[in-house]
A and B are shown apart, each in its own frame.
Chain A
Amino acid sequence: MADKPTLFYTNMYESNVGKIAIVTMDNGEDYKKPSTLGEKALASLNETMDRIEADKDLKGMMLCGKHYIFAAGVDLMQIPFVNTFEQGRQGGAAGHAAMKRIMDLKIPTLAAINGVALGGGLEISLYCDYRTVSKSVTAIGFPECFLSLVPGWGGSSLTPRLIGPEKALELIIYNAMNQNRMINGSRAFEMGLADRMFEAVEFFDESLLFLESIIEGKETVERKPPDMSKLKSLADAARNFVDMRVHGATPAPYRAVELIEGACDLNRSIGECFAEEDRALGDLVKSRQCKASIYSFDLIQRRARKPVGRPQDVKPRPIRKIGLIGAGLMASQLAVLFLRRMGVPVVMKDIKQEFLDKGVGYVKGELSAQVSKRKMTQAKADYLGHLLIPTLDYSDFADCDFVIEAVFEEMPIKQQVFAETEEVVSDTCILATNTSSLSITEMASKLEHPERVVGFHFFNPVAILPLLEIIKGEETDDVTLVTAFECAKKIRKNAILVKDSPGFLVNRMLTRFMGDCIQMVDEGAEFEQIDDAVLSLGLPMAPFDLLALVGPAVAFHVGETLHHAWPDRFPISEHMKQLAEAKITSIYQGGGPGKKVNPKVAEIWHDKGDREFVKEEIVDRLLTNITYEIDLILKEKVVSDPKDIDTAMILGAGWPFFNGGITFYLDVEGYTPKVLQKVFFSI
């Protein structure tokens, strides 16, 4: 269903200093559906400007948003329908033409940024002579580059001319490319984006008074002329940063840097700058990266909110106390998460007091860190710390509603701790496992109540990666599943339902990928060569850096599980086995650009093949094989929809928006049609 269009409403106010037009952008919905600017909004803006230009008595204009929202940017739903350069260019030009009418007014104009101001919503404020911002606003920013676009309704040109290239790059490049970070009202004021900051309580009243005193000439705004002197070095640094992030895999952030640089040349008219923005939009809106980003944005912002596979019409059981088997790093991270998000007692059990002491120390340390970051009061930290109950005795699990294990990845050990737990807990207590590859069904098989066992697979680091795979064993019942989903929601993780199958989803994908990488090294490729080839796809981390993060031993273990299931597609590399056995933690020595292959690693691979690889071949092999694997995953119904795979790879592995996870990329780049004679995409 199409959202209601945002309209511009004009009300005339007879102030003490003359008539002021109060213009409100509003889509008639509550704050949960932010106003966005589309074609109809621009038409409405043009009508409004006709009226305002014609009114010769007007002394000023104030532009506002509805409650809590100024304007949340361009209507993204229009983007998939733009397929040519000219369409994209015109979209930019239409916005520029309408908004520039604000700039060309002879009366003082003020944008009163009362709430969320993103993208086009922030851009329209830049056409006003002055801006005020409410102290309570938390979301101001230019998310365009995050979506493989550029701020193309004036943002790339007006921002550097207002606050200088350094801050413009911070807003448009650095923030957008750091998981779309946004700034708050105070920061916008500090940056000079707004001329005044007022409390939310009387924000429009005080903004009006400010405009009135400007009209009266009682108040003037002093702005420092932007410092353009370091433009070259700032732009180069920004380009390096972008390279580090996307390795050339999406053009938008590079184009944005270019636009900012261009706008800093004050000999160019603003019209010329706007025309450059239009051309950039012409190139970018039709691009594969932009389309993929909009697809990803919709997956994460809308689709992932309602987890697919959560049983309907079944009520979750309450979780009033949680048990944790194990006190290692994973268990300790989970303890922090449960304490912070659920605020229920967490019983942490291990076999040795020293393990417990270490776990408790970690949890308390994390809570203190929250206090020092002022994200939590000391009293709250003390209270939550007090909810952590360390124990060596299973009997302390007696009244737990949800027990999760995070012990060694060995089936007999997992079966044993569940059996011991089952002896003390109630019949309805859920037993969850954080296993990354072992069979849930097998783990449950020896229990009296196998229906209560569910996979609850987190991704490391738990605090950062938002994905949670919920794995249904053969016996797992609906109330267990729905309770697991409810728990995921409370700890603010995006859950997807995955079938009990070796490696589940994300690890199977990554292991297949990694297996190919290692095999190519075995055949003769260089580690660095593989890494560079993968980075050129825009993936956030080079495979051999990822290997170090996961730990070769863990990776090898997961690989073994998959090898056991599908020996052909998941071969065991002898070299990899040696690496794991040698307890070497990383392929490279040092980090960053100067890193070198660890001589011990080189020693292990001393007998590798002598085949020469070119980048294209590496990429081709990786993508061809992953295309097959995805097809098998879907055929086996590990997940039911390619969109689940994309969601999982974005949220669980940090794969970029601009590839649309992975299936979007494979479809558009021709791998799916070539390998499988079809496409993954379906509506």
Chain B
Amino acid sequence: MKARDVVLVDAVRTAFGRAGKKGAFWNTRADDMVVKVIRELLRRNPQITPEMVDENAWGAFCQEKDQGTTLGRTSVLLAGLPETTAGFSIDRMCAGGMSALTTAAAEIALGACDVAVAGGVEHMGHHPMGASADPNPRFLTDRLVDQSAMSMGETAENLHDMFPEITKEMADEYALHSQRKAEQAKDSGKIAEMIVPMTVYTEHGWVVADHDEQPRPETTVEGLAELRTPFRVMGKVTAGNSSGLNDGAAGCLLMAKDVAKDLGIDYKMQLEAFAYAGVKPEIMGIGPIPATQKVLKIAGLKMDDIGLIELNEAFAVQAVAFMQEFGLEFPDDPRMNIYGGAIAFGHPLASSGVRLACHLMHAFGEHPEVKYGLMTMCVGLGQGGSVIWKNKQRDGQKKEKKEKKERTKKKKE
């Protein structure tokens, strides 16, 4: 079997709400959020008809109730896609959406299908993390993992232990930059382009959920310094330098490049390589480092070749550790998370991987000079996932073609 090139046509997301009764999505079902994203993708891309969608892949960490019953299939029926569209659900904790994306892409690459919707959703208000978990007691009795591995905040504290040079002040400073960049992106209208407004029911009537509830543009260094450290006495991890608990869905349209070309469909980026790597569960935040090393190797690229990076900021310490490893500029590298990250927008677990793709797609559009971009995230219980994309919104694209033609001409001559 020969692999085909896979391209991303578009990506959108719902607004990210705060989890819980006060959040915009408290009375909204997760599957309805998924349906909204699927329909918006097709609405924005009318050249792709519902009949063309072969596969509908959705990641969700918690796969029960409104995220259960094979969400990838139920959302086909709920969204009004034809019954011929197949669908599945997938789980890799925080990287559920990323895995839906790479798995659907792999299907396309191997010729199993031509067009797929892939996305991720997490309604953390309806499904508090670990609420229905039943971990095997052997994890603890056989000392397979440290007790802290089950608590993401504690794994972040562990990471501070591992990198003592990353201080709480540095984590806070990083978080502040994330909030500022998010605010700028919001003011520029960039974020609104990514979000599909959705009418949602509340106890006080219908409202339109059209903006993220997590960002705190009013954040200051002083304010951050005063926050308590819930995971440890005299710890370093606070609500201010971590992502939040959120409700959200993000999805994208993927297709085979040759099919897109045949149909004259514009696409934004092309999948270059992806990789997942496992690490010790109690320092799961380190995951993006080996995953990125692995994907660079697969792609035959170096970090210097990467012009834009979207890293999911589960915790600031984990982002800073990544920056140190790859020699990025602290506290704010011009390549990294140019619209801010999960510390500002929030992290509805399985949806975040696809939010990264959505951000990268827009970042590529603003930076036609960039050729390659990376998205990467850490995963609970010790994994990292990384995907490299090639920018297909380069003004250089046409130039390249011209050059290629000229080169072939020269050869002929």
Contacts and interface: CB of A to CB of B under 8 A. Distances in A.
Indicate whether A and B interact: yes
A482 to B, nearest CB: 35
Contact of A66 (B35, B36, B79, B201): B201
Contacts of A23: 205
B205 A201 contact: no
A567 B210 CA distance: 79
A180 interface: no
Contact of A201 (B79, B203, B204, B206): B79
A208 B199 contact: yes
Contacts of B79: 201
Interface string B369-390: 0000000000000000000000
Given A67-B201, A208-B199, A201 B207 contact: no
B197 A205 contact: yes
B303 interface: no
A201 B199 contact: no
B208 interface: yes
B36 A202 contact: yes
Contacts of B205: 9-11, 22-24, 26, 64
A13 interface: yes
B197 to A, nearest CB: 7
B78 interface: yes
B275 to A, nearest CB: 37
Given A199-B80, A208-B199, A13 B39 contact: no
Contacts of B204: 9, 11, 24
Contacts of B208: 13, 15, 22, 208
Interface in B345-382: none
B150 interface: no
B129 interface: no
B78 A201 contact: yes
**Range of interface residues on A (Cβ < 8 Å):** 10 to 19
A204 interface: yes
Contacts of B206: 11, 22, 24, 64, 204
B198 interface: yes
Contacts of B35: 201
A22 B78 CA distance: 25
A28 B80 contact: no
Interface string A168-211: 00000000000000000000000000000001011011001000
Nearest to B192: A16
A659 B35 CA distance: 50
Contacts of B198: 205
B268 to A, nearest CB: 23
A489 to B, nearest CB: 29
A384 to B, nearest CB: 25
Interface in A3-35: 9-11, 13, 15, 22-24, 26, 28
A201 B201 contact: no
A158 to B, nearest CB: 25
Nearest to B199: A204
Contacts of A64: 205-206
Contacts of A10: 205
A15 B205 CA distance: 17
B117 to A, nearest CB: 15
A13 B201 CA distance: 14
Contact of B207 (A13, A28, A205): A13
A558 B109 CA distance: 79
Interface in B200-234: 201-208, 210
A22 B204 CA distance: 11
Contacts of A202: 36, 39
B186 to A, nearest CB: 13
Interface of A: 9-11, 13, 15, 22-24, 26, 28, 64, 66-67, 199, 201-202, 204-205, 208
Given A13-B207, A22-B205, A202-B36, 9 more contacts: A9-B205, A11-B202, A11-B206, A11-B207, A13-B210, A24-B206, A201-B39, A201-B80, A208-B208
6 contacts: A11-B206, A23-B205, A26-B205, A28-B203, A67-B201, A205-B199
